[in-house]
A and B are shown apart, each in its own frame.
Chain A
Amino acid sequence: MIDHARNAAEFLNDPERAHWHDRALWFVREKRDKAARSVPEWEELRKSAEALKAHTLEHLGYYLQRFEERAKANGIEVLWAEDAAEFRRLVAEILQQHDATKVVKSKSMLTEECELNPHLESQRIEVTDTDLGERIVQLAGDRPSHIVLPAIHMKKEDVARVFAEHLHTDPDNPDPHYLTRAAREHLRQKFLEADAAITGVNFALAEEGAFVVCTNEGNADLGTALPDLHIACMGLEKVIPSAKELGIFTRLLARSATGQAITTYTSHFRRPKPGGRLVVVLVDNGRSRLLAEEHKKLLSCIRCGACMNTCPVYRRSGGHSYGTVVPGPIGSALAGARDPERFASLPFACTLCGSCDQVCPVRIDLHRQLYSERREVVRVPEYRGKVRGLKTAAFLLRHPRLYAAMMGLGRVLLPRIPRRLLYNRFNLWGREREMPMPAEKSFNQIYRERKR
């Protein structure tokens, strides 16, 4: 089981860095607030987005088939993958058909989820992540810690060290401008050499048989511009009815993600370039199962990352503490729904403050989802002690006399037991918290005395 609390404790070992991380994300959250307030109909936009996503999921089978039909009519190939393994195999096969050995990839959380890079590398295909944040973590041999800001956990000095090693930049120059320029030169070469491009998909349009990719850097656009082969990877839930709805989603996405009014590049792909090949791979990998359950709403997510930026737990524990590709509230909820045993601790990585619900552009009731998942995940053996403790407490609360007796005993014993004995390994409460020191007299005692 992933132990979020333990991982978070590790992150907090460096309080200065943890504070810096917290501030960096809060800065993004504030930019989001400003952007949202600049649109008077913001709340109505969110409601429309919520209704549209619910509608699309209600008719997901229909819209996916419609998308397939229309995309094929535009000359796009559409493939379906049941799970991560099939997805990896399909992508590798297509690349091998083209003798592609050098691939440029723009950000796609789906390819991270399905661990595409290691598979392609094992087939001697070089994959270059071209989003700057992703390239930084790729070169560092690290993983993204945020879906929109993959390298948010790294300081500019860390980046300078990584670039010095791989791109031969000055290790003592951590200027973001200087480092970004170096990455631009380095990646420009990769773009020019590439045999194929892989991108994600932000929105697939059923009616138009087209899809949209959003970036700020232009890496999806430059990546797909030169090679003849473009493979776009999408989860089933990315389809929306038509381009008309893009009005709603493009207004919400970037404002929620980074506080920009729109991403710099909002690019629409509808046909392969002359003589080229355009393939869309539709990936299920557990999504259709979620559709049938109470967690259906989680499939509405448009991956803006706003819930992470606002989350008091995420900001103070870092993306890696979740042990998932998608961290934060949405990541916890998805992981808890998909694999409640492995990710049992994630629904508890939440204070139930509900801040995520308030910023979510598609109004997913994240904290409620996490709360309801807790009932499911407490069944893992790791939580046996907690469950037993709470059951004992419930028993005591149902028996007032016994409760009063125990409390009386506690008042006498608690202040007298040596600290080392009190904070033993069975004291789960005391692991992260101080035990409260009891008052000399109980409320009942005082009440009785006053009455007299």
Chain B
Amino acid sequence: MTSREKILTRLSGSMSTPETKPGLGFEPSDHPDLLESFVASLKAAGGEAILVEDPERLDERIRDTFLGTESLIDTRRDDTVDLETMKGCRLAVFEAAFGVAENGAVWIDPRERSPHALLTLAENLAIVLDRRTLVPTMHEAYARIDFDGISYALFLSGPSKTADIEQALVIGAHGAIGLKIFLL
């Protein structure tokens, strides 16, 4: 008998197809002002929200915010990037599909368009997000994700961080040291 068969034999009492499964027994909390909640949550996660009122000026705002970033990779335009370029990348621009008000997380699905290494190798991340896509909680967030076609995708909430040395929060562990979200 293979290990698989042995394990499944031991689990034979739990093989039945479930007829129903427990649902949410409550209404998720409301966030009356999604934008306000999102901005506050992102700040708590160590990130920063930048409101862009004029979409025409988005690229300008990104450039102005990260002054002196020559090595920029913009995944909205640049298709393929080699590892060497990514290693030296000071700023990468990503587009997020939507954001979550309760925790400041954004859903990023790089697909084949951009290598997922860039998300962690880039020193700074500029993320472009349409403020109309904000949802209140993770329940609404998962309800809108279609997993078909996804290889690797993530919720990213602020820059990478650690508190493994004496509980002291340090921003910039292995991934981005800075993260700003440009809300259109």
The verdict on B45 contacting chain A, using a C-beta distance below 8 Å, is yes
| A153 CA to B14 CA, complexed, in Å | 40
A268 touches B153 (CB 8 A): yes
A217 touches B173 (CB 8 A): yes
A176 touches B170 (CB 8 A): yes
B174 touches A187 (CB 8 A): yes
Answer whether A217 and B160 are a contact pair too, CB < 8 Å, given A82-B3, A236-B7: yes
The verdict on A352 contacting chain B, using a C-beta distance below 8 Å, is no
Contacts of B124 in A (CB 8 A): none
> Nearest chain B CB to A86's CB is how many angstroms away?
6
Question: Of B17, B87, B138, B159, which contacts A246 at CB under 8 A?
Answer: B138
Contacts of B117 in A (CB 8 A): 222, 225-226
> Nearest chain A CB to B170's CB is how many angstroms away?
4
A133 touches B142 (CB 8 A): no
A-contact 0/1 string along B95-124, CB 8 Å cutoff:
000001011110000001001110111000
Answer whether A40 and B29 are a contact pair too, CB < 8 Å, given A184-B174, A268-B154: yes
The verdict on A269 contacting chain B, using a C-beta distance below 8 Å, is yes
The verdict on A300 contacting chain B, using a C-beta distance below 8 Å, is no
The verdict on A136 contacting chain B, using a C-beta distance below 8 Å, is yes
Contacts of A82 in B (CB 8 A): 3, 6-7
> Nearest chain A CB to B97's CB is how many angstroms away?
13
The verdict on A91 contacting chain B, using a C-beta distance below 8 Å, is no
Answer whether A288 and B164 are a contact pair too, CB < 8 Å, given A55-B21, A222-B120: no
B16 touches A59 (CB 8 A): yes
The verdict on A260 contacting chain B, using a C-beta distance below 8 Å, is yes
B155 touches A262 (CB 8 A): yes
A-contact 0/1 string along B43-69, CB 8 Å cutoff:
011000000000000000000000000
> CB within 8 Å of A: which of B17-35?
17-18, 21-22, 24-29
B154 touches A151 (CB 8 A): no
| A27 CA to B167 CA, complexed, in Å | 9
A217 touches B162 (CB 8 A): yes
Contacts of A177 in B (CB 8 A): 168, 170
Contacts of B11 in A (CB 8 A): 60-61, 64, 236, 288, 291
Q: Looking at chain A, what size class is its interface with the partner chain?
A: 35 or more
Contacts of B102 in A (CB 8 A): 39, 251, 261
B-contact 0/1 string along A247-269, CB 8 Å cutoff:
11011000000101111111111
A248 touches B104 (CB 8 A): no
The verdict on B77 contacting chain A, using a C-beta distance below 8 Å, is no
Residue tally, chain B, CB below 8 Å to A: 74
A266 touches B155 (CB 8 A): yes
B25 touches A47 (CB 8 A): yes
How many interface contacts (CB-CB < 8 Å) are there between A and B? 253
Q: Is the interface of B mostly helix, strand, loop or mixed?
A: loop
A243 touches B145 (CB 8 A): yes
Answer whether A65 and B155 are a contact pair too, CB < 8 Å, given A27-B167, A217-B173: no
**CB-nearest residue of chain B to A191:** B174
B119 touches A221 (CB 8 A): yes
Q: Is the interface of A mostly helix, strand, loop or mixed?
A: helix
Answer whether A52 and B152 are a contact pair too, CB < 8 Å, given A243-B147, A262-B105: no
| A192 CA to B86 CA, complexed, in Å | 11
Q: Which of B8, B105, B145, B154 has the most CB of A within 10 A?
A: B154
Question: Of B103, B164, B175, which contacts A265 at CB under 8 A?
Answer: B175
> CB within 8 Å of A: which of B149-182?
150-168, 170, 172-176
B166 touches A156 (CB 8 A): yes
B119 touches A264 (CB 8 A): no
> CB within 8 Å of B: which of A1-35?
24, 27-28
The verdict on B132 contacting chain A, using a C-beta distance below 8 Å, is no
Answer whether A41 and B174 are a contact pair too, CB < 8 Å, given A24-B167, A62-B17: no
**CB-nearest residue of chain A to B120:** A222
A247 touches B14 (CB 8 A): no
Contacts of B119 in A (CB 8 A): 218, 221, 225
Contacts of A179 in B (CB 8 A): 165
Contacts of B25 in A (CB 8 A): 44, 47-48, 51
B162 touches A52 (CB 8 A): no
A81 touches B174 (CB 8 A): no
A132 touches B150 (CB 8 A): no
B13 touches A292 (CB 8 A): yes
**CB-nearest residue of chain B to A244:** B142
Contacts of A258 in B (CB 8 A): 163
Contacts of A57 in B (CB 8 A): 14
> Nearest chain B CB to A266's CB is how many angstroms away?
4
The verdict on A297 contacting chain B, using a C-beta distance below 8 Å, is no
Closest 10 CB pairs of A and B: A218-B175, A217-B173, A261-B103, A61-B11, A225-B117, A133-B164, A44-B26, A247-B139, A222-B120, A176-B168
The 14 listed contacts between A and B (C-beta, < 8 Å) are A176-B166, A184-B174, A187-B174, A251-B137, A251-B138, A261-B41, A262-B100, A262-B138, A264-B156, A264-B158, A264-B161, A265-B155, A266-B156, A284-B3
Given contacts A86-B3, A218-B173, A247-B142, 13 further A-B contacts (CB under 8 A): A52-B21, A59-B18, A60-B14, A82-B6, A180-B162, A236-B7, A247-B141, A251-B138, A260-B45, A264-B45, A264-B157, A268-B153, A284-B10
Which residues of A approach B to under 8 Å, CB–CB?
A: 24, 27-28, 39-41, 44-45, 47-48, 51-52, 55, 57-62, 64-65, 80-82, 86, 130-133, 136, 149-152, 155-156, 159, 176-177, 179-181, 184, 187-188, 191-192, 208, 210, 216-219, 221-222, 224-226, 236, 241, 243-244, 246-248, 250-251, 258, 260-274, 282, 284, 288-289, 291-292
